[in-house]
Amino acid sequence: MCGIAGFYGTEDMPLLKKMTNSLVHRGPDDYGYYSDKIVGLGNRRLSIIDLSNGKQPISNENGTIWVVYNGEIYNFLKLKWELEKKGHIFKTHSDTETIVHAYEQYGENCFDLFEGMFAIALWDTSKKNLYLVRDPVGIKPLFYILQNNKLFFASEIKAILQNDEIKREVDLNAAHEFLNFRFIPFEGTLFKGIKKLLPGHFIKISENGVKIVKYWDLKVKETNYDFSYYEKNMSKLLEESVRSHLISDVPIGVYLSGGIDSSTITYYASKFSSHKIKTFCMGFNEDNDEFKHAQEMASKLNVDHRNIIISDNFLEELPKLIWYADTPKRNLYPYYIAKEASKHVKVVLSGLGSDELFAGYYHKYLYALNNDQKVILSKEQFDLLISKIKNSSDDLSFAELGQVLSSLLKQNKKADFYLLSKSLDKIFPEEYSDIYGKTLKNFTWSNLTSKYQQFFKGNNDVLTQMLKADFKVKMVDDFLFVDDVTSMANSLESRVPFLNKTLINFAFSIPHSLKINGGVGKYLLKKVMREKIGLNSINRPKQGFGPTNFETYISEVRDLAQQKLIDGVLVKKGMINQDYIKKILSSPPSPKLTRKYNLIWNMLCFEVWHNLYIDNGVYKEMNVSTTNI
């Protein structure tokens, strides 16, 4: 696990060092550089495999191919064995060197052979080709910018910003997406010109220009076998994936909440690990904490468990966390569990990805839909329910929500249906005129839904289409992104065994009825794990994570918003109407304002981010600024 940075089309060792060293938190153990007149490659290393010999950059025998990369190739031993049979000579036991020889043997086709998480920069000196490659799922990030016939890339945007020639401007379309979604989907970022390389893609840069190639895509093909086939294969693939994710020369832990996803990973990890697994659970010492469930599962599986109470003031810590994320995220709580886990292990496994594969989010919506397919709402009824959603999602019944979603489907508005069912924490189309200022006044709801239309074409059922959208966007740009930045901020490698390519393809072949059955989501996974981990974890409802004390939350957000937002950047630059902010902050606190306070919180995060990254503000505790990070 590492941080990588570099460029194509220039020679600048001082800049390469600045870019690479800004990623020291991703790799505190070692560093290395390669530079010639065309390319610069930099690496900060977190030593996990072949601790003494895995230094990067690494080359082939004659120095014609150079690689830096961030991640793990879990099948590297198998690939190494096959490459050695073909005559390749290895000088290390690291997975990085496998990338070098696999490219020598198979060329561009090698990228699809790798099972793992990775962001790779590979320089072929003989062909003068630079490849930037991101893993199929998007577990590891890779950002880049093309400017003046030069390309700059890095694991984090802050490294790219070490180049003073790059102008820092807000991408207004990305701002619109962020304010609505709480994250930025697809290839965009809040920085104009800086993009994310999409999962399963590589960039080829040469004297002939820049070419972006998709080398892997999700295959969705439902099969129809008897139940025992799916049960047997699910169990087999889970075991194989977790076992492969245990490869390491340092201790491994697991995030354990006591729910089915983390308990599944812990079960297999404890069964096949060569040492006693350490597990970690976090909470705010409140009623909805998962400590009891986690402790029960830890005792059942005989693992070394720790419950972590978060006592830090999250809002005070917000600038530091946003600095690590390079983007105004507010769901960065995993930073705290990663901080504690990093004191005990260098690698941790998590249950991320299970919901997107096996339908963990949608069972209640689909259950409501299945009971309301014949409902036809008048425009007045539809508007009334939408108004109820806008004013308070808490008292909306499943039946009422089912009526709204069913109506959207009958209108063939599947993208609207998806974005509404996905989250009620958003700006509604009718509110834009009240919330947006002149800078954003031309952005509409259709700007958001248009990008999602691609997932709702073809003959797949609505559940499969939603899961595909989640898998390719929300999971990548929100959940996996947060997991990466919060773990790497603490020099901790986070692995996600559910997101194994073979397991993914299997999951998207499972019939609808084995994902949601009788209103129960993740039906097949629960059946497979029932005897292994017990009924309590199987039947527990999914919990989100965050403080539940509404009064404290409202008080803290209000105070900070009064200081930062009313006369802040969003108002001054005409993005948000000042009157809207004043109206919300002057209203008596009420749980019915939760959605609107979440919008205010998003705006606060944007304000902090803008101060750090666009206005060149200083994050004093770390004594750094975005001009000299």
Tens of pLDDT, residues 151-189: 999 999 999 999 999 999 999 999 999 999 899 999 999
pLDDT 10s digits, 6-29: 999 999 999 999 999 999 999 888
Residue 124, pLDDT > 60, answer yes
pLDDT at 625: 37
pLDDT at 268: 96
Report H helices in 346-479: 354-358, 363-370, 379-391, 398-410, 414-422, 432-435, 445-449, 462-469
Which comes out higher in pLDDT, residue 389 or 97?
97
pLDDT 10s digits, 445-471: 888 999 999 998 888 887 888 899 999
pLDDT at 531: 86
- Token pair belonging to 552: 């404290």
- Phi/psi region, residue 258 (left: phi>0; alpha: psi -120 to 50; beta: rest), is left
Number of other CB atoms surrounding residue 622 within 10 Å: 12
Helix (H, G, I), strand (E, B) or coil at 146: strand
Residue 554, pLDDT > 80, answer no
Residue 425, pLDDT > 80, answer no
pLDDT at 388: 61
Which H or E element spans position 95?
helix 95-106
Phi, psi of 620 (to 5 degrees): -65, -40
Q: At what angle do helices 314-325 and 594-613 cross, to 10 degrees?
A: 50
Residue 214, pLDDT > 70, answer yes
Percentage of the chain lying above the pLDDT 90 cut: 59
- pTM here? 0.92
pLDDT at 622: 40
pLDDT at 623: 41
pLDDT at 550: 55
Alpha carbon distance 6, 350 (integer Å) = 30
488, 487, 506: which is closest to 498 by C-alpha? 506
* CATH architecture, domain 227-358+469-539: 3-Layer(aba) Sandwich (3.40)
pLDDT 10s digits, 576-602: 999 999 998 888 777 777 778 888 889
Which comes out higher in pLDDT, residue 457 or 377?
457
Helix (H, G, I), strand (E, B) or coil at 26: helix
pLDDT 10s digits, 38-90: 999 999 977 665 556 667 899 998 999 999 999 999 999 999 999 999 999 99
pLDDT at 309: 83
pLDDT 10s digits, 267-279: 999 999 888 899 9
pLDDT at 385: 63
pLDDT at 114: 97
With the C-alpha atoms ordered 53, 56, 62, 65, is the resulting torsion angle positive or negative? positive
With the C-alpha atoms ordered 37, 92, 122, 353, is the resulting torsion angle positive or negative? negative
The full length of the chain comes to 629
Percentage of the chain lying above the pLDDT 70 cut: 84
Residue 529, pLDDT > 70, answer yes
Q: Which fold has domain 2-214?
A: Glutamine Phosphoribosylpyrophosphate, subunit 1, domain 1 (3.60.20)
Report, as residue numbers or ranges, the catalytic residues: 2
Which comes out higher in pLDDT, residue 517 or 503?
503
Which comes out higher in pLDDT, residue 550 or 333?
333
pLDDT at 225: 96
Alpha carbon distance 325, 609 (integer Å) = 10
Average pLDDT of the segment spanning 224-228: 95
Per-residue confidence at 394, pLDDT binned at 50, 70, 90?
very low
pLDDT at 297: 92
Domain chopping of the chain, boundaries: 2-214, 227-358+469-539, 363-463, 550-625
pLDDT at 405: 67
Residue 242, pLDDT > 70, answer yes
Q: How do 39-45 and 2-8 pair as beta strands? A: antiparallel
pLDDT at 627: 35
Residue 361, pLDDT > 90, answer no
Per-residue confidence at 620, pLDDT binned at 50, 70, 90?
very low
pLDDT 10s digits, 39-53: 999 999 776 655 566
